[in-house]
Amino acid sequence: MADLKKLIGRPKLKDGKRTKFINVRFTEDEYKDIAELEKQLGITKTDLIRMRILSDAKRTVINSRELIKYLDDAGAEMGRIGNNINQLAKHANTLKLKGALNLVIIEQFNRLFEEYIRVQQQFEVSLRKIIRAMGV
């Protein structure tokens, strides 16, 4: 009969069993913030607090909705910049055909285009860092 009781229930953990308890109190506003993060991120309050406190780099907590909004805005801005560059290139080609393209304008365009490429490369590096931080 005693052996039958041992088989009932969840098996005991050998490693990783959490035996320590920390009691924490929050203000009403702090608790609402935590509850909102719990909803947005889809993780429990306990896991959220544990990740924040332990700062596990592989499981960085990121508000994905806000991040996607910022990335979407940045992508739209990069698209607008690309359209402007295309319009400038078309205008320069038109002036070149008429023989009215000034060498100073070409040099200025090339300088600005190099700056754009540098910013775009920095943007790509930042995106890679974000993706790594998310653990994807």
In the chain, how many domains are there?
A: 2
% of the chain surpassing 70 pLDDT: 83
Residues 53 and 107 in one domain: no
Query: CA 45: distance to chain centroid?
Result: 21
117 plus 69 within the same structural domain? yes
110: containing domain:
64-134
Among 40, 61, 82, the domain-final residue is 61
- Mapped onto helix, strand or coil, the DSSP state of residue 37 is helix
Q: Is residue 73 part of a domain?
A: yes
On whether both 53 and 95 belong to a single domain, the answer is no
pLDDT digits (tens, 9 = 90+) for 21-67: 888 899 999 999 989 888 888 888 888 888 777 765 455 566 777 88
DSSP 3-state of 61: coil
Which of 31, 46, 61 is the last residue in one of the domains?
61
What whole-number distance in Å separates Cα of residue 100 and Cα of residue 105?
Answer: 11
Nearest to 26 by CA among 42, 12, 38: 38
Tens digits of per-residue pLDDT, 70-88? Answer: 888 988 888 898 888 889 8
